[in-house]
Every structure is written in structure tokens, then in C-alpha cells.
């Protein structure tokens, strides 16, 4: 594998694409540590642990949701909109014709997918804000309309920016941008997951809460 990477690095075009991909992934990871202003992260993390659906969303987005960063919703709306568009191309004749028009048709479908992604992002952001309620806000019950609006805008904008990063990687970098973003999010959790497993084993616990006698060294 290292030899393959060395050979690829020697090719100027591939080297530029690799560097571009790494820069874009770095930008994504930097955004993944910037918190959304005006939220109660501890409360949100507690809800993620209690609600399995939020836990799945957090897993796909590499803990962005439990930490409620500006990329809290990540690439999830884009994945959903892509699935919807694939189903609609079968059900709606006009979209099916677009798909068969070659490159131009695919570009038009991609544009529609972007619009659907933004719409879904806004709907998901609104649903998350209403679902979590005032407990998710730093000001609690004293939060006003502008506090909620700020969180809504940040979540929707974070989704749009994540989609843009994924598309730029696909067009100018190496591999599928969406898949790389999901992968880098999951991989980023590995060190923490390993540490937690070691700590539980040391304390004589399993992930489901069962206790056992730890091995004495």
C-alpha cells in the first residue's frame, strides 16, 4: 500500500488531487471542533445517549451532533436527498428522461439534489430545535427567537458547507467526497472508543453495563 502511495505521489496530477483532498478534509475536521453558539452541549449529549436515532446521526457524523458543532447534521441531509432523487427518477418520467440525457441531465439532477438537500437541512434543523426544546439552549427557558434563529441558521449553513466540501472532493480530489467525509468522521472516533473500551475492561465492565472480575496483572 505504501508503495502504491509513493507511486501515486510521483504523478503530479495525482499529487495535486491528494493534497486537495487532504486540505478539504482538514477544513471539515476544523469545522468539526467549532461549537454552535448558544447551545447546552451537555444536555444534547445526554439526549444522544438516550435516543437511538440521535445516536445513529451522531455516529455517521463523527460525534459532531453530540458535541453540537457547526457541522452537527453533517452530510446526512445530502445522503437522504440523494436517495430520494434516485427513487424519484424511477417514479417521475421527466426525471428519468433527464437521467438518460447524459452529462447535462446528470448536472441538472445534481442541481435539484442540492436544492432538496438545503430544504431537508432546514426541515431537520427546525425539527431538532423544536424536538430538543429549551433544554438544548444555553439560556434555557430565557432563550428568545433570535437565539433559536441563530442555531437554525448555523445548522442549515453547516449542512450546505459540508455538501460543498463533499462535491469539491468528488470533482477535484480523490474518491467520493461524501464517502470520505463519513469515513473520516467514523475514524476520528476510534481513538476515543479504544480508550473507553480499555477503561471499561480495566474497571471490570462491558459496554452493556454488565460487570465482571477484571484480570489482575
pLDDT tens string 35-90: 999 899 999 988 888 888 888 888 778 788 888 999 998 888 999 898 998 888 88
Alpha-carbon distance of 17 to 119, in angstroms, equals 31
Least confident of 18-22, 91-95, 120-124, 200-204: 200-204
Alpha-carbon distance of 164 to 158, in angstroms, equals 10
Cα separation values, 44 from 39, 136, 187, 196, Å: 8, 6, 22, 20
CB 158 within 8 A of CB 128: no
Highest mean pLDDT among 133-142, 153-162, 192-201: 153-162
Task: Using CB atoms within 10 Å of the CB of residue 127, give its burial: 0 to 12 exposed, 13 to 18 middle, 19+ buried.
Answer: exposed
Alpha-carbon distance of 209 to 215, in angstroms, equals 17
Amino acid at each position: 500500500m505504501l508503495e502504491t502511495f509513493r507511486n501515486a505521489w510521483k504523478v503530479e496530477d495525482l499529487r495535486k488531487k491528494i493534497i486537495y483532498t487532504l486540505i478539504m478534509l482538514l477544513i471539515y475536521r476544523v469545522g468539526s471542533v467549532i461549537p454552535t453558539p448558544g447551545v447546552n452541549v451537555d444536555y444534547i449529549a445526554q439526549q444522544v445517549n438516550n435516543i437511538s436515532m440521535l445516536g445513529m446521526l451522531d455516529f455517521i457524523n463523527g460525534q459532531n451532533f453530540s458535541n453540537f458543532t457547526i457541522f452537527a447534521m453533517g452530510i446526512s441531509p445530502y445522503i437522504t436527498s440523494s436517495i430520494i432523487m434516485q427513487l424519484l427518477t424511477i417514479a417521475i418520467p421527466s426525471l428519468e428522461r433527464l437521467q438518460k440525457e447524459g452529462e447535462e441531465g446528470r448536472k441538472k439532477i445534481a442541481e435539484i439534489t442540492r436544492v432538496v438537500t438545503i430544504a431537508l437541512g432546514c426541515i431537520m434543523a427546525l425539527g431538532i430545535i423544536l424536538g430538543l426544546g429549551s433544554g438544548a439552549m444555553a439560556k434555557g427557558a430565557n432563550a428568545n427567537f433570535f437565539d433559536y434563529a441563530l442555531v437554525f441558521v448555523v445548522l442549515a449553513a453547516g449542512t450546505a458547507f459540508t455538501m460543498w466540501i463533499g462535491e469539491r472532493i468528488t470533482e477535484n480530489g480523490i474518491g467520493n467526497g461524501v464517502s470520505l467525509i463519513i469515513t473520516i468522521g467514523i475514524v476520528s472516533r476510534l481513538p476515543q472508543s479504544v480508550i473507553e473500551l480499555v477503561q471499561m475492561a480495566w474497571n471490570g465492565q462491558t459496554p452493556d453495563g454488565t460487570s465482571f472480575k477484571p484480570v489482575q496483572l
